[in-house]
Structure 1
Amino acid sequence: MTTRARDHGLVPAPGRTGPHNAITDVPGVLVGHTTILRPPAIHSGVTAIVPEGIGPDSTVAAGLHVGNGYGKLIGSTQLAELGVLESPIVLTSTLSAFRAADALVTWMLAQPAHSAVVSFNPFVGECNDGFLSDGRSRPVGEADVLAAIGEAAGGPVAEGSVGAGTGTGALGYKAGIGTASRLVDLPGGEVTLGVLVQANFGGTLRVGGVTAGHAELGLADPNAPEAGSCMIIAATDAPLDARQLTRLARRLVFGLGRTGADYSHGSGDYGVAFSTASGAAPSDQGLSPLFAAALDAVEESVLNSLVAARTTVGFQGRTLPGIPVDRLRALVLR
Structure 2
Amino acid sequence: MRAQDPNSPPPTARDRARAVGLAVGELPTGPHNALTDVPGVRVGHTTLSRPPRVHSGVTAIVPDGVGPGSPLPAGMFAGNGYGKLIGATQIAELGALETPVLLTSTLSAFRVADALVGWILERPGNAAVRSVNPVVGECNDGLLSDIRSRPVLEEHVRAALDTASYGPVAEGCVGGGTGLTALGFKAGIGTSSRRVPLAGREDTLGVLVQANFGGTLRVRGRTVTPADVGLPPAGPAPETGSCMVVAATDAPLDARQLTRLAHRAVYALARVGAGYGHGSGDYGLAFGTRPLGTPAGPAVIRDDDLDPLFTAVLDAVEEAVLNALLTATTTTGPGGHTRHRLPAAPLLALLQGDGAREGEQPGS
For Structure 1 versus Structure 2, the TM-score category normalised by the shorter chain is over 0.9
* Structure 1 match to 2:362: none
Q: Deviations over 1:182-216 (max 9, x none)?
A: 00000040000000000000111111101111232
Unmatched segments (≥5 aa) in structure 1: none
CA deviations 1:150-202 (Å, max 9, x no partner) are: 00000000000000000001101001000000000000400000000000001
Aligned to 1:283, which of 302, 311, 325? 302
Q: Does 1:320 align with 2:331?
A: no
2:325 pairs with one of 306, 309, 313: 306
2 CA distance for matches of 1:123 and 1:305? 22
Who is 2:124 aligned against? 112
Query: Contact 2:27–2:196 (CA<8 Å) still a contact in 1?
Result: no
Q: Which amino acid aligns with 1:242?
A: A
Indicate how the Cα distance of structure 1 residues 122 and 167 shifts in structure 2: closer, same or farther if over 3 A, else same: same
| 1:278-317 per-position Cα deviation (integer Å, ceiling 9, x unaligned) | 5421100000010011000000000000010021011121
- Please name the residue that 2:5 is paired with: none
Specify the alignment match of 1:234 in structure 2: 247
Q: Indicate which of 86, 89, 95 corresponds to 1:77.
A: 89
Structure 2 residues not aligned, in runs of 5+: 1-11, 292-296, 354-364
Residue in 2 aligned with 1:100? 112
Deviation (angstroms), 1:9: 1.1
Q: Work out the CA distance in 1 between the residues paired with 2:178 and 2:302.
A: 40
What is the Cα deviation at residue 12 of structure 1? 3.6
Q: CA deviation at 1:2?
A: 3.0
User: Which secondary structure state, in structure 2, belongs to the residue aligned with residue 27 of structure 1?
Assistant: coil
- Partners of 1:287 and 1:333 in 2: how far apart? 35
The answer on whether the counterparts of 1:65 and 1:246 sit within 8 Å (CA) in structure 2 is yes
Normalised by the length of structure 2, the TM-score is 0.90
Q: What corresponds to 1:248 in structure 2?
A: 261
- Please give the alpha-carbon distance, in whole angstroms, between the structure 1 residues aligned to 2:236 and 2:345: 22
Shift, 1:224, TM fit: 4.6
Name the CA distance, whole Å, in 2 between partners of 1:127 and 1:105. Answer: 20
The whole-number CA distance in structure 1 between the counterparts of 2:224 and 2:279 is 22
Deviation per CA, 1:235-267, whole angstroms, max 9, x where unpaired? Answer: 000010000000000000000000010101111
2:167 is the counterpart of 1:148: no
Q: How far has the Cα of 1:272 moved from its partner?
A: 0.2
Q: Which secondary structure state, in structure 2, belongs to the residue aligned with residue 79 of structure 1?
A: helix
State which of 314, 325, 331 in structure 2 corresponds to 1:295: 314
Partner of 1:212: 224
Identify which of 29, 53, 64 aligns with 1:17. 29
Residue 53 in 1 paired to residue 72 in 2? no
Map 1:196-211 onto structure 2 (within 5 A): 196-211=208-223
Note the 1:123-142 alignment, pairs <5 A: 123-142=135-154
d(CA) in 2 for partners of 1:27 and 1:309?
A: 27
Cα shift at 1:331 = 1.0
2:43 alignment partner in structure 1? 31
2:235 aligns with: 223
Q: 3-state DSSP class of the match of 2:125? A: helix
Whole-angstrom CA distance in 2 between matches of 1:207 and 1:313: 25
With 155-164 and 317-326 compared, the bigger mean Cα shift is at: 317-326
- SS at 2:317's partner residue? helix
Amino acid in the other structure paired with 1:232: V
Report SS of the residue matched to 1:144: helix
Superposed, which structure 2 residues align to 1:58-69 within 5 Å? Answer: 58-69=70-81
- Asked whether the equivalents of residues 133 and 315 of structure 1 are also in contact (C-alpha less than 8 Å), the reply is yes
For residues 195 and 222 of structure 1, what CA distance do their matches in structure 2 show?
A: 28
Residue of structure 2 in register with 1:273 after alignment: 286
SS state at 1:333 partner:
helix
CA contact (8 A) 2:105 2:147 kept: yes
Segment of structure 1 superposing worse, 15-24 or 309-318: 309-318
Does structure 2 conserve the Cα–Cα contact (< 8 Å) formed by 1:175 and 1:309?
Answer: yes
C-alpha distance in structure 2 between counterparts of 1:233 and 1:333, whole Å: 32
Q: Is the 8 A contact 1:240 1:275 kept in 2?
A: yes
Runs of 4+ in 1 over 4 A off after TM superposition: none
Higher radius of gyration, 1 or 2: 2
- Measure, in 1, the Cα distance between the counterparts of 2:240 and 2:339: 14
1:108 positional shift:
1.2
Contact kept, 8 Å, 1:224 with 1:320, in 2: the verdict is no
> CA contact under 8 A between 1:188 and 1:282: conserved in structure 2?
no
Return the alpha-carbon distance in structure 2 between the equivalents of residues 215 and 122 of structure 1: 42
SS of equivalent residue, structure 1 residue 302: helix
In structure 2, distance between residues paired with 1:12 and 1:148: 30
The secondary structure found in structure 1 opposite 2:170 is coil
Residues in 1 aligned to 2:335 and 2:344: alpha-carbon distance in whole angstroms? 27
